[in-house]
């Protein structure tokens, strides 16, 4: 319940933003489609290498990648069903979010129509409809090359930092008197670095590039193997929030950048949002498997499919 009597000690409304490929799902939707139905594995390796060396921007190379597909959107779903696995505890975690009125949003460099159909297939259309997707759109007619419609006019096509800050602003507008938004981001790879800097609390999948980057740069984060770990930690955060909000003790896992949000007690005090300019490393907007030897497990679907 909002803290109406002491607005200087606000409660925090949890808002979760999560990457999709490599985070909610263990594989990359674009890789699965292009490898099996588009340009093929060798073509995909060439595109990845061009991005990694800086020969081409992520946006330019991705346009070629998606453009290698000329099939109707529905034709790719048997392939994705057979080649993709959802984190085995994601469904349970999302149900927990809905039960506790926690906003859950996907922020992805992928194509929104594809992501929505994948979520519909693995979660069911009704539950999927409770997840907001912020991603690039696409022009797909089934006979000509697929054409991404980029969300932002940048080299990346989608500035995740900007999307997180826009999400924070929208969350703040939806807060009741005496509430402020608490932003949690969940990710795995280099494409998540800029968004991770904007979050109050960061979860990084174990063994992948985001965790490596956080360790190297001493960025506070919580490692996770499945969304069961995320659920457990969010429950701890909910409990800690009752004890820590407005106090002097801030758990070490919180992002120091976000301390200002704990001192805000009204919408009027909210600063304007400016998206961070990504570094050269962060501009290497790559898929998770380009950075590690991580091999996805053959997770059971728990009846999700």
CB neighbours of residue 295 within 10 Å: 8
DSSP state of 151: S
Q: What percent of the chain has pLDDT over 70?
A: 76
Q: Is the pLDDT of residue 295 over 70?
A: no
Length of the chain, in residues: 305
Q: What is the pLDDT of residues 62-86, one digit of tens each?
A: 999 999 999 998 888 889 988 999 9
Domain boundaries, the chain: 14-263
Of 38 and 290, which is predicted with more confidence?
38
Mean pLDDT over all residues of the chain? 80
- Specify the pLDDT at position 58: 86
Opening angle at CA 21, ends 292 and 261, nearest 5: 100
Q: Is the pLDDT of residue 250 over 50?
A: no
Given a cut of 50, is residue 48 above it in pLDDT? Answer: yes
Query: Quick one: pLDDT at residue 255?
Result: 55
Going from the C-alpha of 86 to that of each of 5, 71, 136, 151, 218, the distances in angstroms are: 44, 24, 21, 25, 30
Q: Are 18 and 184 in contact (CB under 8 A)?
A: no
Looking at residue 37, its pLDDT comes to 96
> What is the tens place of the pLDDT at every residue in 192-206?
888 888 899 999 999
pLDDT of residue 177: 84
| Percent residues over pLDDT 90 in the chain | 56
Question: CA-CA distance, 28 to 259, in Å (whole number)?
Answer: 34
Tell me the sheet residues that pair with 15: 103, 183
3-state SS assignment for residue 259: helix
DSSP state of 75: G
- Is the pLDDT reported for residue 287 higher than 90? no
pLDDT of residue 247 exceeding 80, the answer is no
pLDDT score for 237: 81
Q: What is the pLDDT of residue 9?
A: 59
Using CA atoms, how far apart are residues 83 and 77, in angstroms rounded to an integer? 10
Helix (H) or strand (E) holding 180: strand 179-187
Question: Alpha-carbon distance 117 to 125, whole Å?
Answer: 8
Residue pointed to by tokens 């990084």? 204
Burial class (CB in 10 A: 0-12, 13-18, 19+), 241: middle
248-257 b/e with 16+ CB inside 10 Å = b? eeeeebbbee
pLDDT in tens, 177-226: 888 899 999 999 877 888 888 899 999 999 998 999 889 888 899 999 99
Residue 260 pLDDT: 40
Catalytic-labelled residue, pool 21, 28, 159, 192: 21
Please say if 159 is a catalytic residue: no
Q: 14-263 in CATH: which number? A: 3.40.50.1000
- 3-state SS, residue 117: helix
Q: What per-residue string of b and e applies to 20-44 under the rule 16 or more CB within 10 Å gives b?
A: bbbbbbbbbbbbbbbbebbbeeeeb
pLDDT by residue (tens digit) across 136-157? Answer: 999 999 889 999 999 998 888 8
Q: Kindly state the average pLDDT of the residues 270-296.
A: 37
* Measured distance CA(52)–CA(58) in Å, rounded: 9
Single out the residue of 265, 256, 271, 274 nearest to residue 201, CA to CA.
256
Measure Cα distances from 172 to 4, 83, 196 in Å. Answer: 16, 39, 19
Span 93-119, pLDDT tens digits: 999 999 999 999 999 999 999 999 999
Can you read off the two tokens belonging to residue 9? Answer: 């000690």
- Residue 302 catalytic? no
């Amino acid at each position: 319940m909002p803290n109406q009597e002491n607005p200087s000690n606000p409660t925090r409304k949890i808002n979760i933003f999560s990457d999709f490929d490599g985070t909610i799902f263990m594989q990359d939707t674009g890789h699965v489609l292009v490898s099996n139905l588009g340009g093929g594995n060798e073509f995909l390796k060439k595109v990845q290498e061009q991005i990694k060396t800086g020969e081409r921007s992520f946006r330019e190379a991705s346009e070629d990648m998606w453009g290698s597909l000329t099939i109707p959107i529905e034709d790719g779903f048997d392939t994705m069903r057979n080649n993709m696995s959802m984190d085995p505890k994601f469904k349970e975690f999302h149900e927990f979010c809905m039960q506790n009125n926690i906003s859950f949003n996907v922020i992805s460099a992928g194509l929104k129509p594809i992501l929505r159909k994948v979520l519909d297939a693995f979660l069911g259309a009704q539950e999927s409809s409770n997840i907001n997707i912020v991603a690039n759109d696409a022009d797909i007619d089934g006979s000509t090359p697929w054409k991404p419609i980029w969300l932002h006019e940048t080299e990346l096509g989608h500035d995740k930092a900007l999307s997180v800050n826009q999400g924070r602003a929208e969350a703040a507008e939806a807060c009741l008197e005496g509430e402020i938004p608490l932003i949690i981001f969940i990710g795995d790879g280099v494409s998540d670095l800029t968004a991770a800097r904007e979050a109050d609390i960061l979860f990084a999948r174990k063994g992948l590039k985001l965790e490596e980057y956080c360790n190297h740069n001493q960025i506070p984060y919580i490692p996770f193997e499945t969304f069961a770990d995320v659920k457990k930690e969010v429950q701890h955060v909910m409990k800690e929030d009752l004890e820590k909000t407005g106090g002097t003790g801030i758990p070490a896992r919180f992002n120091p950048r976000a301390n200002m949000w704990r001192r805000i007690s009204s919408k009027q005090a909210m600063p304007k949002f400016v998206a961070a300019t990504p570094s050269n490393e962060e501009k290497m907007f790559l898929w998770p498997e380009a950075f590690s030897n991580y091999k996805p497990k053959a997770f059971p679907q728990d009846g999700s499919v």
